[in-house]
């Protein structure tokens, strides 16, 4: 089975977010970048488990600049066989999907996996767009994935519950928590990652359908009002009279 | 020109998030001097869509539209959008919205903003709208550059407003002969709790501070008395103390209820990412240094096992006096 895992490069979850003085760009100075957790823990690890059980090949693909190479090497250290970087600034979901589709369309991947969403732009869009561009079925927010005899059985989140679907390969899915557990790369993985193939592919022309014009930090809460532990009923009164929450 | 809104039912009623989306669409339609057409799959009582501001409701009809299969549904909505000459299409940023809206965007080459939180600013052909980024740590204003535009609205961003309006209702026969999805639905498991967590106005949530699943009785009781949904932190779901669908945060569900009560949760940044959009946050924690207090509106420093039962009694008492 040939599996493609799309990985995004995102600020570590604990990053303190800051923007340029005019609030027009994200300030990446001093920020630790990592593989988007959904792409790494769930999509990539499940892809590797399937390969280990059934044979095949796992390619990781990233649309981004040379700055992301450390992130790509991490994916190789965890166990991907090879990597592709499409040399384009990833600043619009549709443009990213177009880049991936242009590369993947004639490569015969059986399974294309994305993460649920990137934790920086939280779009949850690239996988679905890619499926449409490649005219493939798409299963969003998959929490379980099994593949047997060319057919995938997938459990995924739907509104108010979960659904189990079967689908003949090829298909695109987005991976959610539940699909696999995080893997820490071992020494051997880290060593071998240095020599695994990382192909850099030139960008194709794409459509940039959206632009971010400005950023703003979320407003913090004013101050926590403490209620004495001996009189918790005061809380209910405040929630009713002051916060108007009940 | 029109504004098209995709809507759904749950348990026979139009979903609250769909009513929010129709309200939102009608505000946009007013700015554009046009009106809202709501689309819905199959037969449903759609009177509420008119009250929320739709002027027209199209019931999408085709035998293939039995599940929410993206290949079929995307094609169906596209046909309705073309028939209605829709320039702006609205979804709710829920599970269906995440599956369908970006797929439709790619089909129409429409720019999309997923998870918008405010009313867009429109001037001529230009539209800008705000959404949360960096998991709620910031917001960004997006400009959509294409002629056709799609916005999915983050649930609970606006209260629902209903009027006495009515909509013209018609069937819309969809042609899906050319579309054949290989996806077969084998099983649907609906969560049986009455309250769907992402829709809930009030949420009571608990973490590892509760020590074990056997101690959730008081949390459920507090939730029941308040009419709230229950949620939990990630380790609690990972240890199977609570079901996976209750896990909120960066890797779980993102919610923004009116009231979020966090009991025995430390307030890690990844937890906050899923709940910091809540209007009012209450934190109950035995450690006065717990980081969550920095993101709370109200706090009680104390032992949950002592405080929660007292809160249950206080809510019962409150209800007795306010009915
Ligand atoms: C990439 C990434 C993604 C993550 N995603 C999520 C996510 O989506 N959601 C999430 O929740 N976490 C997430 N986490 C984990 C997160 O970092 C924290 O580890 C987790 O939120 C801690 O859960 P907790 O607050 O229940 O437990 P703890 O941190 O152990 O906190 C328990 C709290 O209970 C208090 N306590 C103890 N006893 C009592 C008592 N008797 N009465 C009152 N209070 C008491 C303690 O003072 C403490 O503050 C993620 C982590 C990473 C690295
Ligand atoms: N620049 C990128 N390169 C490769 N894959 C990406 C990129 N951006 C997003 N993706 C994939 O698409 C998923 C959803 O991203 P998003 O739509 O931005 O939330 C991510 O989890 C990745 O799997």
φ, ψ of residue A4 to 5 degrees: the values are -110, 125
**Which residue do the tokens 């732009």 mark?**
A121
Ligand nearest to the CA of B208: 1
Sign (positive/negative) of CA torsion B67, B245, B269, B92? positive
Q: Which of B131, B90, B103 has its CA nearest to residue A114?
A: B103
Ligand nearest to the CA of B133: 2
If you write DSSP's letter for every residue of A74-88 in order, what string do you get?
A: HHHHHT-SEEEEEES
φ, ψ of residue B118 to 5 degrees: the values are -135, 175
Ligand nearest to the CA of B233: 1
Which of B74, B95, B270 would you mutate first to test chain A, the one with the most A CBs within 10 A? Answer: B95
pTM given for the model: 0.93
Is B132 touching A (CB cutoff 8 A)?
yes
Chain A nearest-CA distance from B40, in A, is 15
Q: Which two tokens stand for residue A5?
A: 């895992």
Residue B187 has a pLDDT of 96
Q: Are strands A198-202 and B229-232 parallel, antiparallel or unpaired?
A: unpaired
Reduced to 3 states, what is the DSSP secondary structure of residue B70? helix
Chain A residue numbers with beta carbons less than 8 Å from the beta carbon of B270 are 13
Q: Is the CB of A224 less than 8 angstroms away from the CB of B283?
A: yes
Residue B11 has a pLDDT of 82
Instruction: Find out whether B318 and A240 touch, Cβ atoms under 8 Å.
Output: yes
Residue B16 has a pLDDT of 92
Spans of chain A, pLDDT less than 50: none
Is A190 touching B (CB cutoff 8 A)?
no
Sign (positive/negative) of CA torsion B39, B40, B41, B46? negative
Q: Is the CB of A131 less than 8 angstroms away from the CB of B70?
A: yes
Q: Is the CB of A119 less than 8 angstroms away from the CB of B102?
A: no
What's the angle, vertex CA B147, arms to CA B142 and CA B152, rounded to 5? 45
Q: Angle, to 10 degrees, between the axis of helix B304-321 and the axis of helix B217-226? A: 20
**Domain boundaries A2-217, corresponding CATH code:** 3.40.50.620
Write out pLDDT tens, residues A162-191: 999 999 999 999 999 999 999 999 999 999
Is A191 touching B (CB cutoff 8 A)?
no
A239 vs A150: CA distance, rounded Å: 55
Q: Is the CB of B317 less than 8 angstroms away from the CB of A233?
A: yes
Q: Which two tokens stand for residue B276?
A: 């910091």
Question: Cβ-count burial of B194 within 10 angstroms (0-12 exposed, 13-18 middle, 19+ buried)?
Answer: exposed
Q: Which two tokens stand for residue B254?
A: 């993102």
Identify the helix (H) or strand (E) that includes residue A237.
helix A233-241
Q: How high is the ipTM of this complex?
A: 0.93
Q: Which of A46, A34, A12 has its CA nearest to residue A155?
A: A46
> C-alpha dihedral over A14, B206, A220, B24, to 10 degrees?
100
Reduced to 3 states, what is the DSSP secondary structure of residue B261? strand
Maximum Cα interatomic distance, chain A, rounded to a whole number of Å = 68
Q: How far is CA A118 from the centre of its chain?
A: 5
Q: Which of B5, B2, B179, B163 has its CA nearest to residue B75?
A: B179
Q: Which of A10, A2, A14, A25 has its CA nearest to residue A216?
A: A25
Q: Which of B183, B273, B303 sits opposite A137 (nearest CB)?
A: B183
**Which residue do the tokens 């709620």 mark?**
B136
Instruction: Find out whether B203 and B257 touch, Cβ atoms under 8 Å.
Output: yes
Total Cβ atoms within 10 A of residue B131: 24
Q: Domain residues of chain A, as ranges?
A: 2-217
In sequence order, the 6+-apart residues with CB closer than 8 A to the CB of B263 are: B204, B205, B206, B207, B209, B210, B219, B284, B285, B304, B308
Residue B265 has a pLDDT of 98
Residue B114 has a pLDDT of 97
Q: Which two tokens stand for residue A182?
A: 């995080």
Q: CA-nearest residue of chain A to B222?
A: A236
Residue B190 has a pLDDT of 83
Q: Tally A–B CB contacts below 8 A.
A: 271
CB crowding B218-238: b at 16 or more within 10 Å, else e: bbebbbebbebbbbbbbebbe
φ, ψ of residue B113 to 5 degrees: the values are -115, 120
DSSP state of A178: T
Identify the helix (H) or strand (E) that includes residue A161.
strand A161-168
> C-alpha dihedral over A29, A33, A37, A41, to 10 degrees?
-170
Residue B12 has a pLDDT of 85
Residue B68 has a pLDDT of 81
Chain A nearest-CA distance from B58, in A, is 22
Chain A residue numbers with beta carbons less than 8 Å from the beta carbon of B68 are 158
Average pLDDT of adjacent 10-residue blocks, chain B of 323 residues: 95 92 98 97 92 98 91 97 98 95 98 97 95 93 97 93 96 97 94 77 97 98 97 97 93 92 97 94 98 97 98 96 82
Instruction: Find out whether B172 and B227 touch, Cβ atoms under 8 Å.
Output: no
Residue B193 has a pLDDT of 66
Q: Which two tokens stand for residue A68?
A: 């992301």
CA distances to A4, A146, B229, B276, B281 from A53, rounded to whole Å, are 17, 11, 40, 41, 46
């Amino acid at each position: 089975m040939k599996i493609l895992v799309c990985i995004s490069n995102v600020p570590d979850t604990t990053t303190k977010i800051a923007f340029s003085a005019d609030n027009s760009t994200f300030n990446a100075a001093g920020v630790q970048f990592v593989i988007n957790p959904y792409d790494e823990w769930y999509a990539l690890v499940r892809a590797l488990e399937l390969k280990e059980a059934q044979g095949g090949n796992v390619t990781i693909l990233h649309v981004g600049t040379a700055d992301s190479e450390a992130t790509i090497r991490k994916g190789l250290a965890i166990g991907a066989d090879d990597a592709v970087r499409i040399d384009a600034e990833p600043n619009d979901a549709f443009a990213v999907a177009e880049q991936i589709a242009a590369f993947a369309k004639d490569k015969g991947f059986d399974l294309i996996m994305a993460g649920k969403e990137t934790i920086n732009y939280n779009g949850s869009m690239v996988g679905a767009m890619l499926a449409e561009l490649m005219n493939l079925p798409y299963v969003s927010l998959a929490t379980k994935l099994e593949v047997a005899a060319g057919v995938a059985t997938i459990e995924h989140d739907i509104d108010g519950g979960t659904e189990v679907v079967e689908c003949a390969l090829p298909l695109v899915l987005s991976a959610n928590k539940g699909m696999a557990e995080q893997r820490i790369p071992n020494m051997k993985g880290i060593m071998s990652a240095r020599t695994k193939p990382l192909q850099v592919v030139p960008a194709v022309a794409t459509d940039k359908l959206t632009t971010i014009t400005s950023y703003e930090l979320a407003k913090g809460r004013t101050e926590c009002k403490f209620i004495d532990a001996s009189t918790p009923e005061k809380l209910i009164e405040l929630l009713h009279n002051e916060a108007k929450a009940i | 020109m029109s504004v098209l809104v995709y809507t759904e039912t749950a348990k026979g009623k139009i979903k609250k998030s769909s009513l929010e989306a129709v309200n939102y669409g009608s505000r946009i339609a007013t700015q554009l001097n046009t009106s809202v057409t709501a689309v819905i799959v199959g037969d449903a009582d759609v009177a509420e869509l008119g009250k929320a501001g739709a002027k027209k409701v199209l019931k999408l009809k085709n035998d293939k539209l039995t599940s929410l299969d993206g290949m079929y549904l995307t094609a169906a909505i596209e046909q309705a959008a073309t028939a209605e000459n829709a320039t702006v299409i609205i979804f709710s940023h829920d599970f269906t919205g995440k599956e369908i809206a970006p797929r439709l965007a790619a089909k129409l080459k429409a720019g999309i903003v997923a998870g918008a939180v405010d009313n867009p600013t429109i001037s001529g052909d230009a539209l800008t709208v705000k959404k949360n980024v960096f998991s709620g740590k910031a917001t960004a204003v997006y400009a959509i550059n294409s002629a056709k535009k799609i916005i999915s609205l983050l649930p609970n961003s606006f209260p629902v407003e209903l009027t006495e309006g009515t909509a013209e209702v018609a069937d819309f026969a969809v042609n899906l002969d050319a579309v054949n999805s290989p996806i077969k639905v084998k099983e649907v498991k609906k969560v049986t709790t009455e309250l769907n967590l992402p829709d809930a106005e009030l949420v009571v949530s608990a973490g590892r501070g509760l020590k074990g699943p056997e101690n959730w009785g008081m949390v459920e009781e507090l939730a029941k008395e308040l009419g709230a949904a229950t949620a939990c932190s990630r380790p609690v779901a990972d240890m199977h103390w609570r079901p996976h669908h209750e896990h909120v945060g960066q890797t779980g569900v993102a919610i923004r209820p009116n009231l979020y009560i966090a009991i025995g949760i430390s307030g890690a940044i990844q937890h906050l990412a899923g709940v910091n959009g809540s209007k009012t946050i209450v934190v109950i924690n035995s450690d006065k240094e717990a980081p969550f207090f920095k993101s709370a509106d109200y706090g009680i420093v104390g032992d949950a096992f002592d405080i929660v039962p007292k809160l249950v009694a206080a809510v019962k008492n409150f209800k007795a006096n306010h009915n």
